[in-house]
Structure 1
Amino acid sequence: MKRNYIIFVVTISLSFTLFAFTINSKKIVDPDRDKLLLELLTFVIEKGHYNPAVIDDNFSKGVYKDYIAALDPSKRFFLQSDINEFSKFELELDDQLINKDLIFFNLTYDRLMLRMEESQKIFKEVLNVPFDYKKDESFSVDYDNTPYAKNTKALKEKWRKQIKLSTLSSFTDKQKLEEDKKLKDPTYVMKLDAVLEKETRDSSLTSLNESFGFMIELKRDDWFTLYINSIMSQFDPHTSYFAPDEKERFDEGISGKLQGIGALLLKKNDCIEISELVSGGPAWRGKQLEKGDLVMKVAQGNNVPVDVVGMRLSEVVKKVKGPKGSEVRLTVKKADGTIQIISIIRDIVEIEETYVKSSVVEKKGLKYGIIYLPKFYIDFENKGGRDAGKDIALEIDRLKKAKVNGIVLDVRDDGGGSLSTVVDIAGLFIQDGPIVQVKSAGKRREILYDTDKKVEWEGPLVIMVNEFSASASEILAAAIQDYRRGIIMGSKQTYGKGTVQKVIDLNPFVRNSVNSGVGDLGALKTTIQKFYRINGGSTQLEGVSSDIIMPDRYAYLKMGERDQEHAMPWDKIDATPYAVWNNTSKFDQAILNSKKRIENNAQFQLIEENAKWIDSRSAEDLYSLNIDKFKIAQNIKEEAAKKFKPIADYKNNLKFISLPYEVLKITKDPVLKEKRERWHESLAKDIYVEEALNVLDDLQPKSIVKTSITVDKKSKLVKS
């Protein structure tokens, strides 16, 4: 494992001036936490951000626009009169931020609470009356260009049409289901339309009650966090405030582990349901808690149980989670109605989906390895903990022992993570040299090197990417591409996030903040650096262009960094010297061969056609609420969609298997077995993986290619 480079951790210290701002909470009489937060965040942003925006009228306009849109995205709460009142503050929010003034927030929060209460009455009233699906009317879902309701009557009409569209879709689905049942069984008595219509309204009412129940559970602090993040997003898309609970979830996401019982909780009406048990976790090992159990009470050790029925989900989660070695007792209601008290000793829970996994596949007599990396994880607090660099090295070693002839490293949908692990992973494939360049505001660039000359994998390599491969994924792909060490395959370009963020705990700025009544202030994630390829180019906005572009169903939708508001610009710095990999003679031909295969492949052609169709459909925003017209429109779409059904039905006829060490684990872990089977099934339907393996075929040394041909011929002779 290569650990001898100059260690770079994203959480590098900012300049001393950043910590010059310290508030003695003892001097604060009745501290207004919200104002304190604004003061802290403004200071930290100005001192720590790579390129802080100017807080002026344009800044104010941006905050106003983003905040109002976040509060009421579908314009179903506020009236035009509310917006007229709010708009008076459009150019004043910069001044309010500087002065820690909360007038605008308080106004919008109070008004939203009022409008939400009114809206609950509206949708209940709307759903109390049957819909007339024969009436010729329509509804637009283009909320950006839809005006706010002029009065309560117009708002009720908007709610009616919005709900009608939802129920109409469900109603026609139910009709189709009844017709199918009748076709299968002529004796089946179909439900009357009036019954189906009532069922759809009841279902919609339940759904809306649950949705509003969630919103009502939100505290004022939650809405204030939304306001703060409307401010933070003006600096760039990746600068944001973490409330205390969000900071904890972020830490768990980057490390891939948490302390608790290993169960996912879901709120259903007033009840808390166990929706899934994490494989290997304490609850899973105990074999008493089951999926579907309803949690009624929670007790810490021998303490008095607390009734959690009707409690906020986030509050229940806090009570269930806890430090390793501590006991929690859950009073649960089983599916058969019995009540049980289950004692669980909390432990470290590893979120398996976060971690690297690999598989082996045989093709044309050769064996290949697939490594999937969902994120660049690391545990900053535990040097001996799992991190992506060490785990990838381990998987490569296992694949080498399995005698694979090539490796596909799949970072599709990998949104990034720890920058330090990128240097580790890239260093596994090259001899030594620079991996990435990093630049802080007003400072010289820093170059992060792999200095270990050992190469863990010297064979053919393909990196698979898509438009959601971001940040650390892009650094890895860029380094492999610049060294010409492997071939990059996938979308036209990756996401385009070329910035580095640091999470700054806000509590140290206020002495004894947690114990003084101020409370936990959370943290700020802010952009402190930009990174650059070793060739000098930034991945910001432009991402990494694939050597081999494969048609993508979502290629024409706007989902990248370049489509985000307030994204930082692309730029370029000087390249740093590096030596291209010395075994790239087959690259150009392999790329050419792949492009020809893709161009002539009917499945890829169908995917490209589907991408254009999806793009055209995304522009549709007006729906008829007349059932006959609605059915005609839906039938046209369904007929068009049938053409693309082969995309989902595709199979590459390859068999993917687990490595020996995992086969042993699977025999003892049915949950892991099911997850791996699902993954292998998805790989067997993945045309992109199939083409990546074709490229590995083309990259094989001549001696191995000849051997594989001999095996193929021999196998054919045996068959004949």
Structure 2
Amino acid sequence: MKVAKILPVSLLALALTAPVAWLTAQADAGSPSAEQATAAKLVYGLLSDSRYAYRPRALDDKLSAEVFKRYLESLDPGKLFFTAADVAKLEGYRARLDDAIKSGEVGPAFEIFNLYQTRVNERVAHARALLGKDIFTFEGSDRWEYDREHAPWAADTAELDKLWQQSVRNDWLRLKLAGKAPEEIRKTLDKRYANISRSIGELNGIDAFQTFLNAYATSIDPHTDYFDPRAAERFEQSMSLSLEGIGAQLQRQDDVIVVRELVPGGPAMLSGKLKPGDRIVGVGQNGDGPMEDVIGWRIDDVVAKIKGPKGTQVRLDVVPAEAVLDSKPTRITLNRARIRLEEQAAKGEVLTVPGVDGQPARRIGVVKLPAFYQDFDARRRNNGEGASASRDVQRLLVGFREQNVDGVVIDLRNNGGGSLGEAVELTGLFIDRGPVVQVRESGGRVQVDSDTTSGVTWEGPLAVLINRGSASASEIFAGAIQDYGRGLIIGETTFGKGTVQNLVDLDRWPMADGKRFGQVKLTIAQFFLPGGSSTQNKGVVPDIPFPVSVDASEFGESTYDNALPWTRIAAVPHIRYGDFTALLPQLKTLHDARVAKDREFQWWREDIAQFREETAKKWVSLNEAERRAERDRDAAKRKQRQEERRALGLDLDPLGDETDDGLTSSERNIAEEAKREKAAEKRPDPLLRESAAILADALQVLDSDRRLSAQVLSEKASATRWTD
């Protein structure tokens, strides 16, 4: 597995990540609506009341100053648009935002937002003007210092001009190194910057309000969020892994909505009338609704027109991928249906670990679980339908059992969590009843959530693979498995998120007609493992560690300035299936010896070291000779690795010949970019393979050393299939 060399594309892309991601319905950006005024007061009531919030805070001048700071940083995280002079002019709002939220008169947030839009457009105009100047020579020791998160605000526009000149020069150099001619580079960058200006022009009052209320919410704690009605719908969709529509993933490119992928089994794919790369230029409802020209629309507005209740119809005017855009569109009619997003669901595979020294090969089942998803609406109906991570995993485990696999690895890498209930249910598949997580509420009361179902789905050998991106529900599951001694924990220390959130629908208080005020994802409790330890800040520490890919100072709960501290409470009685302490030295010795000969693992380790070294610099050279030499070295390394893979009989890396083309993802062919992402999923994964090998090692060591097996495994565990 190769770690991509990730360097920022441009300051424009960096700076606009947060607000552009919040594009929602059109609204007047000039002033807040009555609904927003009510929503602000409702959010204040929630976050300042200990009956709801785990760590409520009084909304006073001190907190107002924090909201002010976070709001500016949310809009301009890289300090690329506002100057120190701008911030000084806005200082009058620093102690007024608390009153604005309490009263619902959030006009100051809109005034700040409007200034932000003005400054972004000024910067974009400046960047476009630079394309016509003679500044694109790349000699000497110039560098582009792209990481400005902790930098001071630029003193004035002259200082920003210098910064932006380096940013534009870096964009130009990347395209030049990719073989583009000057006129092509100029055209590409001018279009790129113009598109950013257009996107900023589409930001509106809903964007301003959500960004502002999130600055308030995250000032309470890092995991409290405000969702406007459409954002709330998207969140519920991501948790339920389902939606009602046509089953097409869309992306905007320039002014047109393009089909990126089709969801298997969805109406779009089954019809055979739509394919990746097709452009949707018009949308009509049912059989007789008027067709609306959607060229130039925001993507979420187009999606809202295409989605709809299952059984209803939608008509689309489509320009095929192979046709020019001004061709006559083809009109197709699709019946909407409920779509299951299977790509995000749990998946299983079986890996064969070769035997050594005459020992038999081991077959290890792998469950890749990207999230702890759950259809909350289906759960409320208690009808056994709807998406459920634990139910999907259970089905996979039953299949593994029927295939007589020797052990199971649960892959939770980059699983950011989800449903607490699903974490409890999933743990119950591996333990025979008992406490899984302790939940302490704001008043101090501790509730124990337990697996109450007798029996287990998988009683055999188990390992859990984690990394720094494993958080929340992933940490509950991995930590409980570790506390029970039920399986080996392998990988990196996890994120360290030890708090529980609940969705609060703001429409329930004013008895709103329809969805008007949004929802709050509110921190209501802190969780602790059965042994009493919190995962907060510290995370779950693996039994067998892999090299650290992301430092704790760069990513994780410990990077938040207002995160809760680590603590612990009393343990609750629970079974210890085993204690792997005596086994770990042998497993580590075997692991170290194996990875020393594993070329894929060594390449991954080298790439991690290179990636961390380069990102620690926080700058890139603007010397063409240096960058070209670096590019040539990377290309030679990739070629050499592919040749070595062939010689060793290893799987080729499907992206092993890829070089930087200087483009952003939205500038590439969308259908081809989607295929590239699919190919990336098939890249060699030495960490998963090594995790399976470690579990196979544990089986072999315990099989051959009965005394150690008795020391490591309890009588209850020994009765399972940990040993044959």
TM-score, scaled to structure 2: 0.81
Matched, 1:501 2:501: yes
Cα deviations across residues 112-151 of structure 1 (Å, max 9, x unaligned)?
2332343343233222334331575544323235554555
The 8 Å contact of residues 371 and 409 in structure 1, kept in 2 or not, is answered as yes
The 8 Å contact of residues 463 and 477 in structure 1, kept in 2 or not, is answered as yes
CA distance in 1, matches of 2:630, 2:349: 41
Change (3 A) 1:390 1:647: farther
User: Which of the residues 315, 327, 336 maps onto 1:346?
Assistant: 336
Q: What are the residue-to-residue correspondences of 1:536-547 with 2, within 5 Å?
A: 536-547=532-543
Q: What are the residue-to-residue correspondences of 1:52-63 with 2, within 5 Å?
A: 52-63=56-67
The 8 Å contact of residues 498 and 531 in structure 1, kept in 2 or not, is answered as yes
Change (3 A) 1:406 1:548: same
CA distance in 2, matches of 1:618, 1:265: 32
The 8 Å contact of residues 236 and 566 in structure 1, kept in 2 or not, is answered as yes
Report the secondary structure of 1:310's partner residue.
Answer: coil
User: Which of the residues 299, 302, 306 maps onto 1:320?
Assistant: 306
CA distance in 2, matches of 1:458, 1:104: 59
1:191 paired residue number = none
RMSD in angstroms over aligned alpha carbons? 3.0
Which has more radius of gyration? 1
1:173 paired residue number = 178
CA distance in 2, matches of 1:612, 1:676: 24
Matched, 1:246 2:231: yes
How far residue 556 of structure 1 moved from its aligned partner, in angstroms, is 6.3
CA distance in 2, matches of 1:694, 1:135: 50
CA distance in 2, matches of 1:676, 1:612: 24
Cα deviations across residues 269-315 of structure 1 (Å, max 9, x unaligned)?
11111111111111011110111111111011121111111111111
2:352 paired residue number = 362
Q: What are the residue-to-residue correspondences of 1:64-213 with 2, within 5 Å?
A: 64-133=68-137, 137-144=142-149, 146-174=151-179, 196-213=181-198
How far residue 532 of structure 1 moved from its aligned partner, in angstroms, is 0.4
Change (3 A) 1:600 1:452: same
CA distance in 2, matches of 1:61, 1:692: 47
CA distance in 1, matches of 2:634, 2:203: 42
Task: Tell me the amino acid that sits aligned with residue 240 of structure 2.
Answer: S
Task: Tell me the amino acid that sits aligned with residue 69 of structure 1.
Answer: E
1:280 paired residue number = 265
Change (3 A) 1:134 1:531: closer
CA distance in 1, matches of 2:257, 2:339: 20
The 8 Å contact of residues 351 and 689 in structure 2, kept in 1 or not, is answered as no
2:617 paired residue number = 620
> Quick one: percent identity of the two aligned structures?
30
CA distance in 2, matches of 1:680, 1:82: 45
Change (3 A) 1:63 1:700: same
CA distance in 1, matches of 2:587, 2:219: 41
CA distance in 2, matches of 1:677, 1:148: 40
Report the secondary structure of 1:510's partner residue.
Answer: coil
How far residue 74 of structure 1 moved from its aligned partner, in angstroms, is 3.3
CA distance in 2, matches of 1:35, 1:485: 51
How far residue 694 of structure 1 moved from its aligned partner, in angstroms, is 1.8
Matched, 1:217 2:202: yes
CA distance in 2, matches of 1:689, 1:512: 49
Report the secondary structure of 1:575's partner residue.
Answer: coil
Cα deviations across residues 618-670 of structure 1 (Å, max 9, x unaligned)?
23244454xxx342255257648966988898799799xxxxxxxxxxxxxxx
The 8 Å contact of residues 470 and 495 in structure 2, kept in 1 or not, is answered as yes
CA distance in 2, matches of 1:467, 1:395: 25
1:307 paired residue number = 293
Task: Tell me the amino acid that sits aligned with residue 362 of structure 1.
Answer: T
CA distance in 2, matches of 1:637, 1:679: 21
Change (3 A) 1:76 1:676: closer
Q: Which moved more, 1:435-444 or 1:132-141?
A: 132-141
Report the secondary structure of 1:521's partner residue.
Answer: coil
Matched, 1:46 2:48: yes
The 8 Å contact of residues 139 and 624 in structure 2, kept in 1 or not, is answered as no
Task: Tell me the amino acid that sits aligned with residue 71 of structure 2.
Answer: Y
The 8 Å contact of residues 552 and 558 in structure 2, kept in 1 or not, is answered as no
Report the secondary structure of 1:536's partner residue.
Answer: coil
Task: Tell me the amino acid that sits aligned with residue 93 of structure 2.
Answer: F
Change (3 A) 1:615 1:700: closer
The 8 Å contact of residues 329 and 341 in structure 1, kept in 2 or not, is answered as yes
User: Which of the residues 267, 270, 289 maps onto 2:274?
Assistant: 289
The 8 Å contact of residues 537 and 558 in structure 2, kept in 1 or not, is answered as yes
2:692 paired residue number = 693
Report the secondary structure of 2:82's partner residue.
Answer: coil
TM-score, scaled to structure 1: 0.81
CA distance in 2, matches of 1:526, 1:173: 46
How far residue 480 of structure 1 moved from its aligned partner, in angstroms, is 0.7
2:252 paired residue number = 267
2:555 paired residue number = 559
Task: Tell me the amino acid that sits aligned with residue 635 of structure 1.
Answer: A
1:510 paired residue number = 510
Report the secondary structure of 2:194's partner residue.
Answer: helix
How far residue 238 of structure 1 moved from its aligned partner, in angstroms, is 0.7
2:390 paired residue number = 389
Task: Tell me the amino acid that sits aligned with residue 690 of structure 1.
Answer: R
Q: Which moved more, 1:584-593 or 1:455-464?
A: 584-593
The 8 Å contact of residues 117 and 200 in structure 2, kept in 1 or not, is answered as no
The 8 Å contact of residues 551 and 607 in structure 1, kept in 2 or not, is answered as no
Q: What are the residue-to-residue correspondences of 1:591-606 with 2, within 5 Å?
A: 591-597=587-593, 600-601=596-597, 603=599, 604=601
Cα deviations across residues 27-68 of structure 1 (Å, max 9, x unaligned)?
xxx973332222110001123110113433432232222211
How far residue 372 of structure 1 moved from its aligned partner, in angstroms, is 0.8
Report the secondary structure of 1:534's partner residue.
Answer: coil
2:486 paired residue number = 485
Cα deviations across residues 496-539 of structure 1 (Å, max 9, x unaligned)?
1111101111111113343xxxx611111110011100000001
1:475 paired residue number = 476
Residue correspondences, number: 630
Q: Which moved more, 1:412-421 or 1:111-120?
A: 111-120
1:461 paired residue number = 462
2:315 paired residue number = 329
2:447 paired residue number = 446
How far residue 98 of structure 1 moved from its aligned partner, in angstroms, is 3.2
Report the secondary structure of 1:124's partner residue.
Answer: helix
